[in-house]
Chains A and B, each alone.
Chain A
Amino acid sequence: MARELQLMKGNEAIARAMIASGTDGYFGYPITPQSEVMETLMAEKPWETTGMTVLQAESEVASINMVYGGAATGKKVATSSSSPGISLMQEGLTYLAGAEIPCLVVNVMRGGPGLGTIQPSQSDYFQSTKGGGHGDYQLYTLAPASVQEMYDFVFDAWDIAFKYRNPVLILSDGAIGQCMEKLYTRDYIPRWTEEERRKNAPWGTWGKPATRDHNIITSLELDSARQEVFNHKLQAKYAEMKEKEVRYEMLNCEDADYIIVAYGSSSRIAMKAMQMAREKGIKVGLFRLITLFPFPTKQLAEVAAHVKGILCVEMSAGQMSEDRALRPLRRYHPHSRRGPGGS
C-alpha cells in the first residue's frame, strides 16, 4: 500500500504499522484502552497477506514470553497492553533485556495504581524509563503525541531494536490510543526473507547449521565476575543510546521566556496553552520529549539556561518532573507543577 491519507484511531495505527513495517508476529491479551490493536490485527488477517502471525495469548505473562521465544529466533515480534498488563510483563521484559532480544512493546497507559481507571494517564513513567523489572536495564522508550507518531514509531522501533539488540517500548496513553486523527500511511516493508533474518540476526535460534556453533539465548550467568562484565556492556549500550538516539521537538523555544516540558497527550494540551499564551504576548515555548529513555537532558538544559521559568506538565503525580534526568534544570528552576492522571 502506498502513502495514503487515512482517518484512524491511535490503536489501529499501531496495528496497521505493525503489518506495514514487516512485523513477523504479534501476541497479546485484551485490555482497555488498547484492545483495538489486536482487534484490528485479527480483522486484517495479515497471515493471509504478509504472513504475519497473530495470536491471542492466555495472559500478558504468556504474551511477553511468546515475544521472547519468537523474537529470539531473529524475527520482528511485538505485543501491546495497558498499565496492569504491562506490570505483569515486567519479568518477561527484564529477561528480554538481559538476553538482549530486540522486540517491540506498546503500553497505552491508563490510570493506576491497581486496577485504577481506564482513563488516560502517564503514571507508568518510572516503570518505563527506569527499567521496570529487576536488574540494571533500560528500554528504549518512545512517547508518541499523535496518531501519526503511533504509526511512524513502530517503523522506528524496529531499526533501534535490532541496531542495539534491545527491547523498544512505545509509551502511549489512552487519549492517543483512542483518539481518531488523520494519518499518512507508508509503503509496505516486506517481512524479512530467510536470508535477511540470518544476516540481521546471526545470534538467533533458527536451527544450528553445521557451519556455526549453536546459538544460545539466555540471561543466566553463574559467574558473578562475568555478570559484572556483562552489566558494564549493557551500560555502555545505554550510554551509546544517550549519545546517539535522543529525540525531542522544540517549538518556539528560541525567544521563549518560559518553556513547558511535556510528552505524549500532555504535550498536545501544552501546545494549545502555549498558543493561547503567545496570543496574550507571553513568550512560551514547548520542549516536547520524544524519547523518555534516553532523556534529552543536555538539550533541555541548554534551553533552560536561557529562560525565566519552566513548567513540567504530565498526567502523573510528578514522575517526569522528579526524574533525575531533569536535575540539571533545578539549578535554574526549582519549581514544578504536578497532577496525577486518570481523572
Chain B
Amino acid sequence: MNQDIEARKQELLKEGYEEVYTRTKVLTDAVMHYCPGCGHGTTHRLIAEVIDEMGIQDNVVGVSPVGCSVLAYNYFDVDFQEAAHGRAPAVATAIKRLNPDTFVFTYQGDGDLAAIGTAETIHAANRGENMTMIFVNNGIYGMTGGQMAPTTLVGMRSATTPYGRRVDLNGYPLRMTELLSTLPGTYYVTRQSVQNPAAVRKAKAAIRKAFENQRR
C-alpha cells in the first residue's frame, strides 16, 4: 500500500478512529486504467474480496482475454494469464484440468464471450468445466472504441450502429445467461449488476457462490 496513505492511516487509528473498511490485499497498488464510471473497478474489487475472504490467494489463476480488462493481470495480485480474444474458456479449461485443486476464473467482455468466443463459452459450460466465468457485459466493444456488441440493445447507438441497432440488419441481442442456463453442463448461472450498493452486495454474494462451487 502507498506509504503516505499507510502513515496517515496509522495516525488516524492513534487518534481513536476505527477501521471499518480496507482495500483487499488481493488487488495490487497499480492505478486502474478504466474510464470513470465503469463497473470494472467494482467488479475487480468484488472478485478480489471473495478470493481474500476464501483465503485462496495462493491458489488462484485468473484469465483475462483481449478487451478493456486485458490488463487485469496488473490489478489482481494472483497468478494470471492473458488470452487471445474469445479463448479464455478454452485456456481456463486446461488450467483447471491440469491443476484440479486450483481455483480458476475467466474475466470476459461481451464481444469476447458472446461473439468471437461463443463456441468456447458454450462448450466449456456444456462440458461442465469446474471454473468460474465472470462475464462483464457493457453492451459494446469498449476497448476498440464502442462498436456494436452481440449484447447491444435494439435501437442503441454505437460506433458501428450510429443510427441505432436494427433487427433487420443486425439481428437481436444475444441473451447469454438464458442460453447458458439451458445447458445441462452449467451448474450455476446468474445475472447481476453493480449499479448501486445493494446490487453490488448481491453481485458479491453471487461471485462468492460461483467460486465456492469450485470446491465440489
Contacts and interface: CB of A to CB of B under 8 A. Distances in A.
Contacts of A206: 61, 79, 99, 102
A70 interface: yes
Contact of B97 (A53, A205, A220): A53
A208 B77 contact: yes
Interface stretch (A56-64, A113-121, A156-164, A241-249): A56-64
B123 A58 contact: yes
Nearest to B98: A70
A70 B123 CA distance: 17
Contacts of A281: none
Contact of A65 (B59, B73, B77, B91): B91
Given A69-B92, A71-B94, A216-B74, 17 more contacts: A55-B93, A55-B94, A61-B119, A66-B94, A67-B94, A68-B84, A69-B63, A70-B98, A73-B95, A99-B82, A205-B79, A206-B61, A206-B79, A207-B99, A214-B78, A216-B80, A216-B81
**Interface residue range, chain B:** 20 to 34
Interface in A7-62: 24-25, 27, 53, 55, 57-59, 61-62
14 contacts: A55-B94, A58-B119, A61-B90, A65-B94, A66-B91, A68-B91, A77-B98, A99-B82, A207-B79, A208-B60, A214-B78, A216-B80, A217-B81, A219-B82
Contact of A92 (B76, B81, B82, B87): B87
A66 B124 CA distance: 11
B134 interface: no
Interface string B127-153: 000000000000000000000000000
Contacts of A68: 81, 83-84, 87, 91, 94
Report the 8 A-B pairs with minimum CB-CB distance, sorted nearest first. Answer: A69-B91, A70-B94, A205-B79, A218-B82, A65-B87, A66-B94, A65-B90, A69-B94
A205 B59 CA distance: 10
Interface string A61-95: 11101111111110101000000000000011001
A73 B80 CA distance: 10
Contacts of A53: 94, 97-98
A205 B123 contact: no
B58 to A, nearest CB: 5
Interface string A200-237: 00000111111000111111100000000000000000
B90 A214 contact: no
B76 A220 contact: no
A286 B123 CA distance: 49
B70 interface: yes
A27 B94 contact: yes
B24 interface: no
A208 B93 contact: no
B57 interface: yes
A75 B98 contact: yes
Nearest to A61: B87
Nearest to A24: B98
Contacts of B98: 24-25, 53, 70, 73, 75, 77
A92 B84 contact: yes
A289 to B, nearest CB: 31
Nearest to A217: B81
Contacts of A215: 79-80
Interface string A120-152: 000000000000000000000000000000000
Interface string B32-57: 00000000000000000000000001
Given A205-B61, A206-B79, A220-B82, A66 B102 contact: no
Nearest to B77: A214
B90 A62 contact: yes
A66 B93 contact: yes
A62 to B, nearest CB: 4
Given A58-B123, A208-B58, A216-B73, A69 B102 contact: no
Nearest to A72: B81
A62 B82 contact: no
B97 to A, nearest CB: 5
B214 to A, nearest CB: 13
B97 A218 contact: no
Contact of B79 (A55, A62, A214): A214
A73 B61 contact: yes
Nearest to B104: A69
A70 B73 CA distance: 17
Contact of A58 (B58, B91, B120): B120
Given A70-B95, A207-B60, A218 B87 contact: no
A218 B71 CA distance: 9
A310 to B, nearest CB: 41
A67 to B, nearest CB: 7
A207 B73 contact: no
Contact of B90 (A69, A99, A207): A69
A205 B87 contact: no
A69 B57 contact: no
